[in-house]
């Protein structure tokens, strides 16, 4: 595939040494996680991402209940394996179905590798660990990751989730290579910055996800399942309307903002649309409107760093207070 002339920058992902594109491709959408995406459309979106210079693709068996991994495997089947980095997850299988046992995690990854048509993944995360008792995460899930790493089925391992406390806790107890955090380095929430000293101290790679806050920063109607309280939704709507009056797009500003921080190696965006991923790649090659940024941040100030609880109460002390 011929690459476009767009300038996609790359940064080092902590101790992994992987030189990852600042914009990564989140493959949840090609599993029809948010809307129905025909298989051929999803495959074209993956190819457009690679053609545009993106070299990190993240997926999970949870997305579309294995559909995303299946489609992604077909999209990557004829692409040289050394031209991209592949990330998947284990432990979450459905909305309320989790299996963090050693046997379950290993079985899940082996099934993922078959769907993805590969012998290994570059990054492997325990998926949404805040829904599982910490004792099981540390006692079974993480040891399973290290066993898979020893077997060569995963090059680097870590955990993912929403509450930032999960990272502080697991990084104190386990020598992880990477973490995946979402919705905490966006226009409305930059609390991920609080983790930077710890990540630097331990040289842990950071994958940032959802610069659009799962749709809050698009100006489009939100799905019923979105966990944000009404105040967050309303203020973000006002920010989107302000951008529209200025002939601008809040989503563009949001993507540019998240990608711009030099200490964030990569930020995942998810789409099942070829046109959208090409648009996102163009956006990060364009200058950010600093005046508009200042105006939008002022509008968002009343909800700055507000989030919502996720998972077990033990991980959410004080969240939403």
Instruction: For the chain, report the end-to-end CA distance as a whole number of angstroms.
Output: 50
The tokens describing 244, both together, are 């529209």
Residue among 49, 95, 90 at smallest CA distance from 268: 49
Q: How many helices (H) and strands (E) does the chain have?
A: 11, 12
Half-sphere exposure of 97 (CA within 13 A, CB side): 9
Query: Which residue, chain included where needed, has tokens 């200042």?
Result: 294
182 carries an active-site annotation: no
- Residue of 63, 100, 280, 315 marked active site: 63
For 184, list phi and psi in degrees, rounded to 5. Answer: -120, 5
- 248 DSSP 8-state letter: -
The β-bridge relationship of strands 85-90 and 266-270 is unpaired
The CA-atom distances, in angstroms, between 162 and each of 40, 278, 284, 308, 311 are 31, 28, 25, 9, 9
The catalytic site residues sit at 63
């Amino acid at each position: 595939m011929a690459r476009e002339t767009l300038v996609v920058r790359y940064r080092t992902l902590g101790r992994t040494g992987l030189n990852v594109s600042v914009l990564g491709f989140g493959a949840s959408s090609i599993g029809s996680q948010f809307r129905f995406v025909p298989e051929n459309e999803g495959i074209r979106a993956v190819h457009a991402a690679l053609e545009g210079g993106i070299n990190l693709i993240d997926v999970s068996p949870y997305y579309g209940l294995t559909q995303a991994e299946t489609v992604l495997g077909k999209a990557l089947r004829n692409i040289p394996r050394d031209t991209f980095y592949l990330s998947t997850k284990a432990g979450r299988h459905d909305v309320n179905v989790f299996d963090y046992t050693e046997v379950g995690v290993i079985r899940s990854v082996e099934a993922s590798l078959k769907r993805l048509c590969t012998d290994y993944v570059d990054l492997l995360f325990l998926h949404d660990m805040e829904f599982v008792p910490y004792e099981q995460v540390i006692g079974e899930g993480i040891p399973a990751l290290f066993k898979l790493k020893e077997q060569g089925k995963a090059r680097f391992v870590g955990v993912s989730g929403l509450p930032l406390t999960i990272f502080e806790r697991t990084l104190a107890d386990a020598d992880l290579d990477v973490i995946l955090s979402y919705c905490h380095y966006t226009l409305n929430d930059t609390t991920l910055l609080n983790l930077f000293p710890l990540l630097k101290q331990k040289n842990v790679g950071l994958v940032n996800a959802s610069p659009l806050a799962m749709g809050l920063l698009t100006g489009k109607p939100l799905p019923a399942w979105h966990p944000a309280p009404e105040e967050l939704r309303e203020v973000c709507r006002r920010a989107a309307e302000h951008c529209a009056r200025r002939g601008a797009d809040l989503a563009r500003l949001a993507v540019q903002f998240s990608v711009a921080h030099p200490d964030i190696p990569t930020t995942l965006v998810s789409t099942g649309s070829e046109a959208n991923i090409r648009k996102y790649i163009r956006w990060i090659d364009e200058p950010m409107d600093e005046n508009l940024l200042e105006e939008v941040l002022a509008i968002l100030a009343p909800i700055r760093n507000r989030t919502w609880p996720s998972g077990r109460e033990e991980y959410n002390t004080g969240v939403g207070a």
